Amino acid sequence: MNIKKFTGKINNVVDLSKTAKEISISLSEHIDFIPGSFINVFIDINGEKVRRAYSISSSSMENKNITLTIRLSPTGLLTPLFWNKDMIGENIEMMGPLGLNTVDKMKQDKIYLFAFGVGAGVVKSIADHFFNQKNIKSLIILTGSKSEDEILYKDYFNSLFLDSENMFVDHIVSRIREGSSIKRGYIQDYINEFDFNNSDVYVCGQEKACNDLVEKIKSTNPNDCNYFIEGFH
pLDDT, tens digit, for every residue of 84-135? 999 999 999 999 999 999 999 999 999 999 999 999 999 999 999 998 788 9
**Within 13 Å, how many C-alpha atoms sit on residue 159's CB side?**
6
| Confidence at residue 194, expressed as pLDDT on a 0 to 100 scale | 96
Give this prediction's pTM: 0.95
| Confidence at residue 165, expressed as pLDDT on a 0 to 100 scale | 81
Q: What are phi and psi of 35, to 5 degrees?
A: -50, 135
**Mean pLDDT (whole number) for 55-76:** 92
Domain 4-98 falls in which CATH fold? Elongation Factor Tu (Ef-tu); domain 3 (2.40.30)
Fold equal for 4-98 and 103-232: no
Q: What are the E-state strand segments in the chain?
A: 4-17, 20-27, 38-45, 48-55, 65-71, 91-98, 110-116, 138-145, 167-173, 183-184, 199-206, 225-232
Beta bridge partners of 2: none
Tell me the average pLDDT of the chain: 93
Provide Rg for the chain, Cα atoms.
18
For 178, other C-beta atoms within 10 Å of its C-beta total: 4
Q: What pLDDT band is residue 75 in, cutting at 50, 70 and 90?
A: confident
Q: Where are the domains of the chain?
A: 4-98, 103-232
| Confidence at residue 1, expressed as pLDDT on a 0 to 100 scale | 65
pLDDT per residue over 145-186, tens digit each? 999 999 999 999 999 888 778 899 999 999 988 878 889 999
Q: What pLDDT band is residue 46 in, cutting at 50, 70 and 90?
A: confident
Candidate CATH numbers 3.10.520.10, 3.40.50.80, 3.40.50.970, 1.10.1740.10; the one for domain 103-232: 3.40.50.80
